[in-house]
Amino acid sequence: MKSSIFSTSKDVFLDTVNAKDYVQLDRVSTIYQSLKASVKKPLKMILLYGKPGTGKSMFLSKLHHDLSKTEKIHYYMTPILDESEFYKSIAHDLYDVDSENELNFTQMIKILKNKNSDEIPLVLLDEAQLYSDSLMEKIRLLSDTRKIKFIIALHKTQKEDLIAKEHFKTRIWESIELSNASIVELKIYIQKKLMKANCFDSANMITNSSIKLIHKLTDGNYRDTNKLLNTVFEIYSYYYNNSPDKISTNKLSNKIIEMSAIHTGLINA
């Protein structure tokens, strides 16, 4: 095993969102297919929610990647918090309508109603918990025109169940919840990510013992797992270059996993 293997393995777990990095797991794939099926239904809005790190952004990224060749779709990864800028972006990206001046809600409604195409464009809004209640209410009303469909991804927190918020009670006709991975799913997720990058030796280092510890530390959260393993393989790369006799390349060291957990804040030292 060469040092570059550990460097490549480290990069596999960079905290990025790319549809090509999507890992197919049975339960996750079932949920994703459900999301794709929901897009075809005559729904006004679709809610995708879950705790941070459960894969909402990855779902939106993959959906955009899969549908962009056949449907009018736009993915807003970063919320546009200014109301006028939000409307101007929608008008430009979906309808090639440009406005040098402020664009208000009434004008946006007129733009939508003047579009007679049978094709209903799909708008993907990530991190939607950052939008104001006022703008979210306007998004509800835009969806009521049946001229535009929104998929809204937002966090579900312990303090409030976002699906119960007032502006979701009547307009969301479909809601899909994402959750953390089980131990079995987490092992498959990690090994598949490594094997997709041809890091077969690193994938073989993942044992049941190491998976149990990783799951205990991350609770199966994909984002926390990525951060943890990025650090794990960074430490392995360092040791391989400087003190190779101190590590075994047969299996992941629980000690190094715990060191990484301290470094990433999963363990309070």
* CA dist list (Å): 187 to 23, 47, 121, 220: 12, 28, 37, 10
- Determine the pLDDT at residue 43: 75
Per the prediction, the chain carries an average pLDDT of 88
Q: CATH top-level class for 26-177?
A: alpha beta
- Determine the pLDDT at residue 241: 87
Return the ∠ at Cα 162 (arms to 54 and 219), rounded to 5°: 30
Number of Cβ within a 10 Å radius of residue 8: 17
Strands (E), the chain: 45-50, 73-76, 122-125, 149-155, 172-177
- Determine the pLDDT at residue 22: 78
Q: Report the pLDDT averaged over residues 124-145.
A: 91
Q: Report the pLDDT averaged over residues 126-149.
A: 90
- Determine the pLDDT at residue 169: 55
What is the pLDDT confidence band of residue 61, given thresholds at 50, 70 and 90?
very high
Which residue did the predictor score with more confidence, 175 or 186? 186
- Determine the pLDDT at residue 101: 87
What is the pLDDT confidence band of residue 171, given thresholds at 50, 70 and 90?
low
- Determine the pLDDT at residue 200: 93
Q: Report the pLDDT averaged over residues 105-125.
A: 89
- pTM of the entire predicted model: 0.86
What is the pLDDT confidence band of residue 166, given thresholds at 50, 70 and 90?
low
Which tokens is 179 given? 């959750």
pLDDT per position as a tens digit, 27-48: 888 888 888 888 888 777 888 8
What is the pLDDT confidence band of residue 233, given thresholds at 50, 70 and 90?
very high
Q: How far apart are the first and last CA of the chain?
A: 32
